[in-house]
Structure 1
Amino acid sequence: MLTHDQAVTTAHRLAAELEPGAIQRDRDGATVIPHDALSAVDSSGLLGITIPAADGGPGLGPRTLAEVTRILAAADPAIAQVPQGHFLMIDILAVHGSPPVRKALFADVLAGKRIGNGLAERGGKHAQDLRTRITDGVLNGVKYYTTGALTSAWIAVSALNETGRLVLAFVPRSAPGVTVGTDWDVIGQRATISGTATFRDVPVSSVIDYASAYEVPQQLGARAQLVHTAIEAGIAGAALRDARAYLRSTARPSSEAIRAGHDSATADPHVRHRYGRLASRVRAAEALLASAAATLEEIGLGPASPAEAARGSLTVAAAKAFASEIAVEAGSELFTLCGTSSAAATWDLDRHWRNARTHSIHDPIDYKYAHIAAYDLSDVPPPNHGQI
């Protein structure tokens, strides 16, 4: 079984394999399914790192998950996002899955099979205004933002049952009636191919009462948001890394800098100021991520008190909001640092901003700040759902 250090070493090795193809995958978008990159993820052994030891896994926690995700996101944040829903499903199964369901699905995951998600929908008042239904054991519905579903072995699909209660069905990707499309047309995170999944008269047998997961104080949402935080921190770090490389190897000093006696871009005091400021903020985002992961590690995945649940959720909320802002800032600031030539399409440096901008609006950071303030100022606990 992998230890924390072994998982991090594996993530670095996988990142080195993924990074050279990141630009081409960004350019290809949904026109080319990144089978090779995803096969490398699936065969890495990292998919099962959070499976509890009691279920045959290594039982590694948020600290490992956050660092592994950040490392992979710095190489290719779209590929790093593909198993985000997978890790949420591992947590849900660990807490709420029946022994037979856990045994079957965890065995598949440990064998390198991934779980995709079918949670969000279009056409309603919001993404969780569900029209998907399970009636008499048969699933019907249409999902969007189905990250990982296209190439997964299983798809976790949220639906309402006959009584209107929220449930979660685990459906084989290859089941008759399951169709996953490539209609993913966005400016960033393009290789996730999170398009439309359609379920037509699909029999289901593995169903969890999903509503109960959020009826008690829990850390499921915080742990899911931690992965999103790690993706943002990874994007920010990648933008800083590429800015540094460009400044050291390619950037020319501006004419203003030359007139002021600075013969290289890296000697320009204004470039140094901006770079130093940005580097400090990226490192702060990484530190907040590590702190949030450590907090969730302390609290654990099982039942939490209301105070502990609030502490975990709000710690992650602060880290996620800040990392989102810094990732967008870094993706833009690198052009100010590197100059006009860095905007040439050949470098594809704009992918950092596009990836950050696309991913950062996964859920509104303004609400995260509002919940932090409400708790600190008025003792109002954050809502008990998965978006904080």
Structure 2
Amino acid sequence: MVHVIKTDEEAVEVARTLARGFAEGAARRDAERILPVAEIEALSDSGLLGITVPAEHGGAGVRTATLGAVIRELAAADGSIGQIPQNHFWYVDSIRENGTPEQREFFYREVLAGRQLGNAAVDARAPDGSRRRARLRPGEDGGFLISGHKIYSTGALFAHWIPVIAVDDEDLHHTAFVPRDAPGLTVIDDWDGMGQRTTASGTVLLEDVHVPADRIVAGHRTYERAGTFRSFGLLLHAAIDTGIAEGALADAAAFLSGYTKGGWPGNELTRVVEDPVVVQLFGELAVLTRAARALLESAGNVIDEARAAIANTDDPEEAARWEAEAAVAMAAARAHADTAANRVTSEWFALAGASASLRSHNLDRHWRNARTHTIHDPRRAKVHDVGNFHLNGIAPARPNDPRSRRR
């Protein structure tokens, strides 16, 4: 029986409890590329996958900042496990945004029962570099057929439902929710990144997969109006990066606390943590990490405030202003989390000796995870959005909309 979480506080506590167990085998899972099948089952059973289901549908309806804290706790324990449910929560939000009442009722029940949503969004490229876009074609009984080749499908291997992005005859994108065991759907575990090694972010192949019409959500509607959907989903990446930084900082502190230097004639044995230079430099890394955590929480609060304001206004300019505030808050959190994750996971090694690099410790996994995860959505784009907003009054452009909006 899957537990149903009812409060924000309970969600964070459950995440912390799970994270303690996940951390114990994280180094070995990374080193040997052991997929976290049992851990993801525990995540499903814990009730955490249902925490964003609105209270009126039986969920906790947690704040975005709370969800960020949950993802951060999981990522601190194991960066891959922190990333696997990110798309799940994004697609739950897409159902809230664009699903019919019947679709919401059905999928909210599924999620509260521990069913996980995966991901098949990114189309593979053709030889000329263009995307070979998955398409919806009319099928039998009013349904549709989908064929396509998807890559970077994080979470699909573990999922019960795989949301597939496909376009219709007018090139409008839709999300088709396909059962993991649907005929014609194949998930291939061919992810071979240097970091985030156990996310199973591999390939999904679809060959004339039938999808009933009531399992298709018109995702294109999201970007036809002001909203917080994109900021909500992308902020979870900042939570992953912040968690990776926190996990690295904790492992670094544990290693350094038992590390000594010197001990040969003329050089007294001393504990490295008593070196004021080491303390200073470690403090700088801790400041970076704490600031990332603060920006993550602040951005989550802005997103919730913006979501409520947009829902309660009929003024398009007011809605656009709040959409911009959410997008900029998200971008600032993402940019700083990127810096914190990459610096913390790398620079602490300078405070230790060569033994910190031993493969048996596998402490470099934090850097590999940070570097791998942060390059998929470049920091430079987020910094540009923040700068353009504060300097020129231009809000980040909405996806599929080339227009920028002055505030």
TM class by smaller structure: over 0.9
1:143 matched to 2:150: yes
Structure 2 residue aligned with 1:344: 358
CA contact (8 A) 1:254 1:265 kept: no
Structure 1 residue aligned with 2:17: 13
CA contact (8 A) 1:87 1:224 kept: yes
Aligned-partner SS, 1:363 = coil
Relative distance call for 1:263 and 1:44 in structure 2 (3 A) is: same
Q: Aligned equivalents of 2:250 and 2:223: distance in 1?
A: 39
Deviation sequence 1:107-145 (CA, Å, 0-9, x none): 111000100010012215999945111100101001011
Which blocks of at least 5 consecutive residues in structure 1 are unaligned? Answer: none
Q: Aligned equivalents of 1:204 and 1:128: distance in 2?
A: 26
1:221 matched to 2:221: no
1:359 matched to 2:368: no
Question: What amino acid does structure 2 have at the position aligned with 1:306?
Answer: A
Deviation at 1:221, TM superposition (A): 0.9
Q: Aligned equivalents of 2:104 and 2:397: distance in 1?
A: 28
Match for residue 105 of structure 2 among 84, 99, 103: 103
RMSD of aligned Cα (Å): 2.0
Match for residue 274 of structure 1 among 276, 281, 288: 281
Match for residue 163 of structure 1 among 148, 153, 170: 170
Structure 1 residue aligned with 2:346: 332
Aligned-partner SS, 1:116 = coil
Greater CA deviation, 160-169 or 150-159?
Answer: 160-169
Greater CA deviation, 288-297 or 166-175?
Answer: 288-297
Deviation at 1:354, TM superposition (A): 0.2
- Regions of 4+ moved over 6 Å: 125-128
Q: Aligned equivalents of 1:355 and 1:126: distance in 2?
A: 30
Q: Aligned equivalents of 1:109 and 1:280: distance in 2?
A: 37
* Percent identity of equivalent pairs: 38
- Give me the TM-score of the superposition, normalised by structure 2: 0.90
Structure 1 residue aligned with 2:257: 248
Structure 2 residue aligned with 1:176: 183
Q: Aligned equivalents of 2:216 and 2:160: distance in 1?
A: 16
CA contact (8 A) 1:271 1:337 kept: yes
Structure 2 residue aligned with 1:306: 320
Structure 2 residue aligned with 1:185: 192
1:288 matched to 2:295: yes
Deviation sequence 1:287-346 (CA, Å, 0-9, x none): 111111121122226647111110011111011111111101111112111221100001
Q: Aligned equivalents of 2:118 and 2:262: distance in 1?
A: 48
Structure 2 residue aligned with 1:116: 118
CA contact (8 A) 1:142 1:196 kept: yes
Structure 1 residue aligned with 2:392: 378
Aligned residues: 381
Deviation at 1:252, TM superposition (A): 2.1
- Give me the TM-score of the superposition, normalised by structure 1: 0.94
Aligned-partner SS, 2:87 = helix
Deviation at 1:34, TM superposition (A): 2.0
1:92 matched to 2:106: no
Aligned-partner SS, 1:198 = strand
Q: Aligned equivalents of 1:189 and 1:106: distance in 2?
A: 29
Question: What amino acid does structure 1 have at the position aligned with 2:335?
Answer: A
Which blocks of at least 5 consecutive residues in structure 2 are unaligned? Answer: 139-143, 312-317, 401-407
Relative distance call for 1:274 and 1:262 in structure 2 (3 A) is: farther
